[in-house]
Amino acid sequence: MAFAPGPRGPARVRACRVTGTRSREQVFALVRAHLADELDVDPQAIGEETRFREDLEADSLDLYTLVQELEDTYGVKMSDEQAAQILTVGQAVDFVLAHDGTVDAA
């Protein structure tokens, strides 16, 4: 995965880390809020089936900042190869739920 600066300027970094049990809805809400803020889109336009590149027109920098957000917030580690396989918002949520170890998947 190649990372190149995008037109939106530098990424915003959040310095909080979520601990404890969280639900699918909580992870989805964080991902949706991050994407809405980063890409300047209506959060209601983002669903689990929303595709990063095709629907949100996210570039590689946008996707890189999302990966960093997930790693920083949930303590998951994602390789470039794993990130390249995540095409939708729901797949990103699934990754966090599968690799966090403290999530209530309900």
What b/e sequence results for 30-57 when a residue is b if at least 16 CB atoms lie within 10 Å of its CB, and e otherwise? bbbebbbebbebeeeebeeebebeeebe
94 is catalytic: no
How far is residue 1's CA from residue 11's CA, in Å, rounded to a whole number? 18
The one catalytic residue among 59, 72, 94, 100: 59
Helix (H, G, I), strand (E, B) or coil at 51: strand
CB atoms within 10 A of CB 70: 25
Q: Catalytic site residues?
A: 59
